[in-house]
Structure 1
Amino acid sequence: MAKGYWVCTGTIHTPLGMVPYISKFTAWLATVNARILIRDLSSDVREGSPGTVNVIVEFDSKENAIDAYESEGYQELIKLRTPYSELSLTITEELNE
């Protein structure tokens, strides 16, 4: 089965405001069997304007990634993040050839 991913890009406006989100998000990942593959807060952006934050989170499948995003637990976490950041999140899956 193909793995699922959250691809997150954007900007953090108030880094200290993100501390509660980051600590709770990190603990929450274990509850949905996910892990952070990439976390770069100062990416070298060469094209476009996605912001300098890049995070990729891996899940067992795209369905798991969707379920995790739609979960009550993550919906509550979004409320901790949005006042301090402007991020986009795309759910996708790996290429299996």
Structure 2
Amino acid sequence: MPKGYWIAHVAVDDPHAYEAYRAANAVAFAKYNARFLVRGGTRVDVEGTAKPRSVVIEFDSFQDAQDCYHSPEYQAAKALRDPVSSGDLVIVEGYDG
């Protein structure tokens, strides 16, 4: 079964307030066995433009990745994130071939 991934590019407007989101999202991520593969870090934009922060999170399955996003735990964390950041997030199925 292919894994699932969240791929996000985020601009944080209030880093202090964003910390509340990071603390809250840990509940959902633990519930769905999420693993951060990329969480910020140095990067080089070689094509196009993206928001300043990149995040890649791995889940055991594509379904788990979707279920985590729609879970009450994550939606509560997202409510803390929305006022203090903007971003793009896609949920993708991993390649299993």
TM-score, normalised to structure 1, is: 0.90
- Taking structure 1 as reference, are residues 41 and 78 closer, same or farther at Cα in structure 2, changes over 3 Å only? farther
Greater CA deviation, 27-36 or 78-87? 27-36
Listed as ranges, the gaps of 5+ residues in structure 1 are none
Moved over 6 A (4+): none
Listed as ranges, the gaps of 5+ residues in structure 2 are none
1:42 CA displacement: 5.3
Query: Identity of aligned pairs, percent?
Result: 34
Q: Output the amino acid matched with 2:33.
A: N
- Taking structure 1 as reference, are residues 13 and 42 closer, same or farther at Cα in structure 2, changes over 3 Å only? farther
- Cα RMSD between the aligned structures? 1.4
Greater CA deviation, 36-45 or 67-76? 36-45
Q: Distance in 2 between matches of 1:11 and 1:43?
A: 14
1:44 CA displacement: 2.5
